[in-house]
Amino acid sequence: MNKNKSILFYSAKKYEIEFFEKFNKDYNFKIDYIESKLDNTFVNLAKGYDGICCFVHDDLNSFVLEKLASYNIRVVALRCAGYNNVDLCSAYEKKIHILRVPIYSPHAVAEHTIGLILSLNRKIHRAYNRVKDLNFDITGFLGIDLYKKVAGVIGTGNIGKIVARILRLGFQMEVLSYDVKPDYDFAKEIGIKYSDLDEIYKKSDIITLHLPLTKDSIYLLNEKAFEKMKEGVIIINTSRGGLINTKDLIKYLKNKKIGGAGLDVYEEEDEYFFQDYSATGITDDLLARLLTFPNVLITAHQAFFTKEAMENIAKVTLENLKDFFSGLNLKNEICYKCGQNIDSCNKQKYGRCFE
């Protein structure tokens, strides 16, 4: 029955299309791919489709969702885990189901996190450029042993747990962790400690973020937080850019309080990431300033980007769409009230969370 269902993919890139085309042979959806981002301007392109598929930078605001509802579109498949770009309340009101890929490869993001830590600490990115210029001087590349140092892992979901495990068991670091829902069994298993944010800020040599962007977590790392941190602390963010106040980050990079920052995300990344601006330059002054620091390493939201992750994203996204059109249980639908998957929200009834 899927072969008659048409899906429009917004923000589609060549490298992901090949995965969806490969796995769609088992689902037989009629898929059209466009590079345009879903927003107020391009929402009209969805007219005539049975559903749409979006990525992290597509803007599913109330206006867009109202338009989609008027086109009789009742399903939006997010090919990502995050949903801070979706007005969930508006989607619920308009009876549009928002499906996502909650887990695609936590190892991919965790391993990228470790790569950023090692590169910043040992200045590998700078050493590479220096040696390419035939300069073999190692002045300025002094790092520290991670062994016995303190790492603060904020957020211990699937990704955060893997990071904590690598840092604790692989590097034998002391790991302090924070989560609104601590997993004390996990902490006991690998020998880490759950703590409050103030202790993490005060004691950590490395702080890495692994939590979603919500109204409670926006700008979690700001001037007040940076003031509490150790001199020379390394900050890592492979979650969402809005977790860090970039202006405050720049201030504390300038005064040397922060020893390095590894960022796979940026709070205003929607305008730039996944695009090529090498010939035109950028106009974002904060991003441009970050790029001038030798102790800042930025990657363009690529932490998830492994073969295994792309395969899982394609398969789960297509399975989500199949379940919707088949009238099956939507295990990966997002509860508009609590943000959890409906099947894991134990207060869920008839699509409404009664928290």
Catalogue the active-site residues: 240, 269, 301
> Rounded to 5, what percent of the chain is helix, strand, coil?
40, 15, 45
Report strand pairing: 51-54 vs 352-353. Answer: unpaired
Report the distance separating Cα 27 and Cα 201, nearest Å: 48
Residue 224, burial from CB neighbour count under 10 angstroms (0-12, 13-18, 19+)? exposed
181: exposed, middle or buried (C-beta count within 10 Å: 0-12, 13-18, 19+)? exposed
CA gap 348, 115 in Å, rounded: 39
Backbone CA torsion sign across 268, 270, 271, 277:
positive
Query: What are the residues facing 234 on neighbouring strands?
Result: 206, 260
Outline where 167-284 has alpha helix (H): 184-190, 197-203, 223-228, 246-254
Q: How far is CA 294 from CA 68, 251, 261, 264, in A?
A: 45, 15, 10, 16
